[in-house]
Amino acid sequence: MARVHWLPEVPGEIRSHDPLMVSNYEDLFYGPPAPSIDMSPEAWATVLQRSPARLRRLLRMALFAQRRILGLRLGRHSAAHLFGWNVAERGDHWFRLEASSWMGEAHLVFHSDERHVSVATLLRYDRPIGKVIWAPVAFGHRMVGLALLSYVLNAPTLRMSRRLSTV
């Protein structure tokens, strides 16, 4: 079983895929490489939508917190969005999601290389209250991030074909 880890900082290689010059919070979830991972948002959505019910409930709770507690303006389900987050930019082995709220910007960078599969979180607070609101949410964020990436790296459906990608 692939083990997933958490770090309170984002390496420069992954950070280079993000335009935020300053982040007030950042972290990284990472696990062992899986050569068959398709790094398209569509492929990740497919894997997570087929996850066990308890994991889908956890994802719904996270989306609720993102909308109601953090105030993120998430879009509707579409090819331009992954779970409401705007698919902002893509590369061969990475993609970036973005969402904004009244208190700042949130970015997620998904990245894969020969060493790791990673998901980085970068937040910029435009108002001081952002730090206050994020502090209690951060623990849940870490638990959800670890659970979701662990599932993705260990899911039998992960050995998916590149045909699932529409990139």
Please, what is the average pLDDT of the chain? Answer: 88
Cα 123 from Cα 37, distance rounded (Å): 26
For the segment 99-129, what is each residue's pLDDT rounded down to a tens digit?
999 999 999 999 988 889 999 999 999 999 9
Residue 164 predicted with pLDDT over 60: no
Q: Return the domain boundaries, the chain.
A: 5-157
Q: Given this structure, which CATH class describes domain 5-157? A: alpha beta
Give the pLDDT band of residue 40 (cuts 50, 70, 90).
confident
Residues 98 and 105: beta-carbon distance below 8 Å? yes
Cα 153 from Cα 125, distance rounded (Å): 31
Mean pLDDT of all residues in 139-152: 93
